[in-house]
Structure 1
């Protein structure tokens, strides 16, 4: 009998942070996720997608079914990804304006979010951004995104021990392990939806 290969097919993950701040903890979570895939989660390649250059949604910018180059490039990266990883900060109990703007641009016809597996992670005070996650999941229903249900990842950034360094890098080992489990779950769910 042939040995079954333990190597999983490569999945490409587009990672978006809803925070534009230079030392954002949300973006720090994505950096940690990228590092984890290089070190301990083979079969995943994460590309950070910068949404800071996207103009505010304005359908006047759509001309004959085309979009400005920055929007076309962003939409193409989402389209080519096998799955999506959102780092979703909580602003006033909801998702941030930059993230909502990105969601809206990629939902314009044709909707490039459709049928994508996704995961959401967040950090902040109190409930660690959990309320924004539930709002994002609600938006995802309309966009036809398919979120993993477990494990959930919220992180209180201000409760000891220290979670992030001065440059917004995740330093808490327990949080890194929890983040790793999210990536493993996203990988398994993506492969399952792909029939692999």
Structure 2
């Protein structure tokens, strides 16, 4: 069986983001036959605008992003919470992935959302909002896969998430579950 590819979207653009560290840790616990690739171009996506989303005018960054989503077997979103909801960069990425209507690269694709935030609930509102938005966009949202790590600034102040035994074990479960969902979908196709 071919390798299962999981595209990782990080909802924080900050280089030292704990959510980026979670993405790195998730890539490190991927089982054999599963690859996680962190998409590096979310900051390059212009705000979604139908006026530029026409054949011959689609920005190169959007074309590359859509190709990456289309090529992946599943998408793992790892995001903080900004003002009680999803960061603008992630919402913009959802909008770009949701088009063209009827043949979008996210349509039917397994998507799981996890992450960390400073607050006591670990970004659960943002994670729920991302699941909702991806579902409306046509993704096959894996509602049962959840991980919201609270107190990120304190918990990971001197410890990378990969070195946190509890978080590492939870990430292993998350990656295994999304890989299994992607494999099931590939087998059914």
Same fold (TM over 0.5): yes
On the 8 A contact 2:95/2:137 being kept in 1, the answer is: no
* Residue of structure 2 aligned with 1:43, choices 33, 46, 52: 33
Conserved 8 A contact 1:25-1:170: no
User: SS state of the match for residue 163, structure 2?
Assistant: coil
Cα deviation per residue 1:31-65 (whole Å; 9 max; x = unaligned)?
1011112xxx1121111112111111122223436
User: Which residue does 1:3 correspond to in 2?
Assistant: none
Partners of 1:96 and 1:133 lie apart in 2 by 10
Question: SS of the residue aligned with 1:189?
Answer: helix
Distance in 1, Cα, partners of 2:14 & 2:107: 29
Unaligned runs of 5+ in 2: none
Q: Distance in 1 between matches of 2:24 and 2:71?
A: 21
Choose from 25, 28, 49 the match for 2:18: 25
Structure 1 counterpart of 2:7: 14
Could you say if the C-alpha distance between residues 151 and 62 of structure 1 is closer, same or farther in structure 2, counting changes exceeding 3 Å?
A: closer
* Contact 2:98–2:138 (Cα < 8 Å) also in 1: no
1:127 corresponds, among 103, 112, 121, to: 121
* CA distance in 1 between partners of 2:131 and 2:172 (Å): 21
How far 1:158 moved relative to its partner?
A: 4.1
Is the radius of gyration larger for structure 1 or structure 2?
1
Question: 1:102 aligns to what?
Answer: 93
Q: Is the 8 A contact 1:89 1:123 kept in 2?
A: yes
CA deviations on 1:12-37 (whole Å, 9 max, x unpaired) are 11100010112011111101011112
Moved more, 10-19 or 60-69: 60-69
Distance 1:72 1:126, change over 3 A: same
Superposed CA deviations along residues 123-147 of structure 1, whole A, max 9, x for unmatched, are 0121001111111111122112122
Paired residue for 1:4?
none
Gaps of 5+ in 1: 1-7
In the aligned structure 2, how far is the partner of 1:82 from the partner of 1:154?
23
Confirm or deny: 8 A CA contact 1:15 1:46 kept in the other structure.
yes
More divergent stretch after superposition (62-71 vs 75-84): 62-71
**Distance in 1, Cα, partners of 2:157 & 2:140:** 29
Asked if 1:92 is matched to 2:92, the reply is: no
Task: Provide the rounded CA distance (Å) in 2 between the counterparts of 1:170 and 1:156.
Answer: 16
Displacement, 1:105?
1.1
